[in-house]
Amino acid sequence: MTAPTTIPVVRSLPAPGHYLCGLTWADGLLWHSDQDAGKIWAIHPGFGEVVRELACDRVRADLTHHDGVLCQVGDRPKRIVLVDPNTGEVVGTKPVKPSNGRLCGVEMGGEGLWMCLRAPAVLQLRDFETMTVRREIPIVGSPSGLTVVNRTVVYGEFDTGLVRAVDTRTGRIVGTALVEGAPTGMAWDGYSLWYCDFRARRFKAIRLDDVLH
């Protein structure tokens, strides 16, 4: 079987830290969390400058946002830590039951909160208010982060460098692509897919069409 060709990177920005975890898009900015630094940064997508820095020593994995609040996967066992994006104050938490360390990716979509979990690998759609599971889709590989584009969930695999797209209506994988480096957190800015390249310590943007074809 022929190995997949690495798809092109259309934008690349430096990360402010060294242990790249979460990534999401809100208010025209890339929001990024770093476990070792214990920080959440707001990054301007133009040249990558940091426009806001928040202390958050509870960072464990991915990051999203909902209703004006940052939603950080944090703590042990993992839960959703709700963070004020203006002050960095923790304004609440949401347990993700059953409590464990499987949760690695989160992103809010039109249907609710999408999560990816490892061992076994699944996508879950949860109600944000109650955290109850509304749908569960088995997936392949070992996911490290995800984002949502309409009815498509896109997730990355740190170990293989693969990015996969799943049609949430059918549960089928509708695209697989090899990207540069080791993807962790992912985000959609309305035009491009962004991912954290953990090894290169950079944010990289790719085209959704390159993943789907």
pLDDT in tens, 102-155: 999 999 999 999 999 999 999 999 999 999 999 999 999 999 999 999 999 999
Q: Which domains does the chain have, with CATH numbers?
A: 15-212 (2.120.10.30)
The pLDDT assigned to 86 comes to 97
pLDDT, tens only, 10-49: 999 999 999 999 999 999 999 999 999 999 999 999 999 9
Give the span between the Cα atoms of 94 and 144, in whole angstroms: 21
Look at residue 66 and tell me whether its pLDDT is greater than 90: yes
* Nearest alpha-carbon partner for 73 in 129, 166, 144, 163: 144
Look at residue 161 and tell me whether its pLDDT is greater than 60: yes
DSSP assigned state of 130: T
Q: Which amino acid is at 156?
A: G
Place of tokens 């979990």: 117
pLDDT, tens only, 74-105: 999 999 999 999 999 999 999 999 999 999 99
Given a contact cutoff of 8 angstroms between Cβ atoms, the answer to whether 55 and 88 are in contact is yes
Of the pLDDT bands very low, low, confident and very high (cuts 50, 70, 90), residue 3 is: low
The pLDDT assigned to 55 comes to 98
